[in-house]
Amino acid sequence: MNYNKFEDQISDWIENSMDIKQRKEFEKFLSENPEYLSKVESIKDVMNMMKDAPSLKTSEDFTKRLNEKITSLKSEKKPMGILGFSKRNFAYLTLSVLGILLLSGYLLQPSFSSYSIVDEETIDNNIDKEEIDKESNEINDIDILNDVNGSFVTDKD
């Protein structure tokens, strides 16, 4: 054991919180270095003085003042809440609910619903399809006329 380790363990030794091996090692160091015994004794003295030191008292009216503070705290009117919420929280809650309702209403309108968008696309597709069918029919008519006359015939003919 060196001096630093000895110093680190003084309180443990005084408070008897060492295991047997540590205690023996500490006491061996102390017996080999009796000059450090006074250090241990002075720390013991300081500890005893602190243990026995009278505590400082609070003011005589300490408890009275405390009770007055508590009484005034109790008599302070608490701000009236709404449905168990503070006014501020109630305002936030109301705004949130209104916001959700407005957003829902906006999104659920037919012209803005996802269903209506698909529907419009379907309608557009159907119109395109009708035009294509019409054009196909016209081509078919021309082919039929070609077959019958053996020559290229147009509607104008």
Partner 1 sequence: MSQNLQIQLTGSLNMKDDFKLSDEKLIALFQSGDINAYNELVERYKERLFNFVLRYFNNKEQAEDVVQDTLIKLYTHASYYKNVAKFSTWIFTIAKNNALTELRKNKRKRTESLWTEDGNPLDINSKEQSLDQKTHNEFAINQLNRFLDEIPENFRMAVVLRDFQELSYDEISKILEIPIGTIKSRINRGRIQLAEKMKHFKEQK
Q: Which residues contact partner 1 by CB under 8 A?
A: 7-8, 10-12, 39, 42-43, 45-47, 49-59, 62-67, 69-71, 73-74
In angstroms, the CA 43 to CA 51 distance is: 12
Least distance from C-beta 49 to partner 1, angstroms? 5
Of 53 and 148, CB closest to partner 1: 53
In angstroms, the CA 157 to CA 148 distance is: 13
Of 60 and 157, CB closest to partner 1: 60
DSSP 109: S
Q: Contacts from 65-69 at CB under 8 Å and sequence distance 24+? A: none
Of 49 and 108, CB closest to partner 1: 49
Runs of H (alpha helix) within 33-113: 37-52, 62-75, 87-107
Least distance from C-beta 52 to partner 1, angstroms? 8
Least distance from C-beta 110 to partner 1, angstroms? 53
Of 28 and 64, CB closest to partner 1: 64
Of 81 and 99, CB closest to partner 1: 81
Least distance from C-beta 61 to partner 1, angstroms? 10
In angstroms, the CA 157 to CA 141 distance is: 13
Least distance from C-beta 46 to partner 1, angstroms? 5
Q: What percent of the chain is helix, strand and coil (3-state, nearest 5)?
A: 75, 0, 25
Do residues 98 and 105 make contact, with C-beta atoms less than 8 angstroms apart? Answer: no
